[in-house]
Structure 1
Amino acid sequence: MEEAENAAIWTAEVARRYDTPGSGMFADEVLGPTVDRLAELAGGGQALEFAVGTGRVAVPLAARGVPVTGIELSAAMVGQLRTKADETTIPVRIGDMATTRAPGTYSLVYLVYNTISNLLTQAEQVACFRNAARHLAPGGRFVIELEVPELRKLPPGQRGVVFQDEPGYLGMDTFDVLRQRIVSHHFWFDGSAVDGSDQARLFRSPHRYIWPAELDLMGQLAGFELESRHADWAGSDFTAESDSHVSVYRLPAAG
């Protein structure tokens, strides 16, 4: 599987640097609405997080009383998670989210922060939907948080766009529109060079981008119906100008 292309990226060094408590995607204003919405959607049942990582969402969700199990490809990321929660609190199966089976039946499976795009083929992404369906009870939900591809920002003949530029950090995406691929390039500048200039640290990750309509078709192939789509976890309207979405897919109820 092409997910192996991603497996080598999530090293112990990356896992150590991944958590940024109180800022970025760990900021209260980001995590609060995410956990609130997932706790509501779990409806008192158990939740399964695909690509649980270091427990950014799973740890506060479990603290809210929602039993959470994880599936994670990177043992290094799970090692970082274990500094915050033990196996009893958040059990984790090591493996890829397209095929790995966790024990039990769940009312909610969720996949946040664009992580379905880490699967680099359409076939793997469809398999991920089907794996979610295998874990869910009738009427269960699969929630995906995903960016909208920013191809409108890409002039003809240009392969890359800067998506963030701030002191000490530069983010740039390069596109392969034939294969629906993005490589995200993250540059951090820490001023550590011998001459006092900025020394750059680079992290790159490959992704396969998915249009919302394509995502909906993947859901249909796995037996899901789209229940709702919003621009964020707080429930803002999804419009043509939205740069991301939170989509909730639901299996038919029993009978």
Structure 2
Amino acid sequence: MRGWNAATFGDTMPDYDLQDWAVATDEAEATEFLAAYAKDGCALELGVGTGRVAIPLARQGVRTTGIEGSQAMAGQLERKLSGDEVRVVVGDFADVAVEGPFDLVYCVFNTFLLLLTQEEQVRCFRRVAEVLAPGGVFVLQLSAPQAYLLTDRQSMHTLSVGMDRMVMLAATHDPVLQRVDRQQVVMTEAGNRLYPLAYRYVWPSELDLMGELAGLPLSCRWGGWQSERFTGSGFHVSVYQKPTG
């Protein structure tokens, strides 16, 4: 998808929190899980967006920083803050261009997949390892690759249908690069809107190798924030820990 960069997703979502088809609703469970790892320390969110998880985590007493690629999306977050409970840094989160150490670094709801090459994803792991405190953890919430991606080079899906709105998803797939380019098309009587998205999917085993290369071995993997068993499909929550030695 020509023209895509680290800021594109946020720049095309000026009303992100209002898009019920795009926003997850698991922030309470995520916050409880993450706070248990952060304890009374510092946390860093990669791709913080509008602060859906960072704000409640900060309000539990965790000193929280967020990196966001889009100035427009960061602005949506900052307008929701009542003070300085979340420090916002605008930049490409592959670079993790902030000073540590952090007890917790996390990236939720497939945001890690917005890094479109294996090199960027590996670089992100290595930079996370550099800013983590000894014993600190890197938590990733990702969905396992979907079965249809293994065979289809292109696809069309209906996300929702209502009396006054329909949301469609059109995608093309490059299995060599493990890359998907897609448009989420919102159709209403007033007209259509396009929400582009590009991502590189990652197999859990590939993710674990990235962790090993960065010095962050896998500690545990769950099927969700409530420590459900991971069955190989749907979302997984993977925890990578920096050795204390």
Q: Same fold (TM over 0.5)?
A: yes
1:230 aligns with 2:227: no
Report SS of the residue matched to 1:69: strand
Please name the residue that 2:71 is paired with. 75
Q: Which runs of 4 or more aligned residues in structure 1 lie more than 4 Å from their structure 2 counterparts after TM superposition?
A: 21-24, 154-158
Contact 1:165 1:171 in 2 (8 A): no
Compute the TM-score of the two structures, normalised by the length of structure 1.
0.86
Counterparts in 2 of 1:23 and 1:176: CA distance versus 1, 3 Å = closer
2:107 to 107, 111, 116: 111
TM-score w.r.t. the length of structure 2 is: 0.89
Letter in 2 for 1:252: P
Unaligned runs of 5+ in 1: 193-198
1:161–1:174 CA contact under 8 A, matched in 2: no
Counterpart for residue 164 of structure 1 = 159
Q: Counterpart in 2 of 1:17?
A: 15
1:106-255 alignment to 2 at 5 Å? 106-150=102-146, 152-154=147-149, 156=151, 158-162=153-157, 164-167=159-162, 168-192=166-190, 199-240=191-232, 242-254=233-245
Q: Alpha carbons of 1:26 and 1:215: their partners in 2 closer, same or farther (altered >3 Å)? A: closer
Asked whether the equivalents of residues 12 and 195 of structure 2 are also in contact (C-alpha less than 8 Å), the reply is no
Amino acid at match of 2:244: A
Secondary structure at 1:25 match in 2? coil
Determine what percentage of the aligned residue pairs are the same residue.
41
Q: Structure 1 residues 60 and 157, CA, compared in 2 at 3 Å: closer, same or farther?
A: closer
Give the CA RMSD over aligned residues. Answer: 2.3
Question: Counterpart of 2:23 in structure 1: which amino acid?
Answer: M
Label 1:181 to 1:13 Cα distance change in 2 as closer, same or farther (>3 A).
Answer: closer
Contact 1:42–1:107 under 8 Å retained in 2: yes
1:92-111 correspondence runs (5 A): 92-111=88-107
CA-CA distance at 1:172 after TM superposition: 3.8
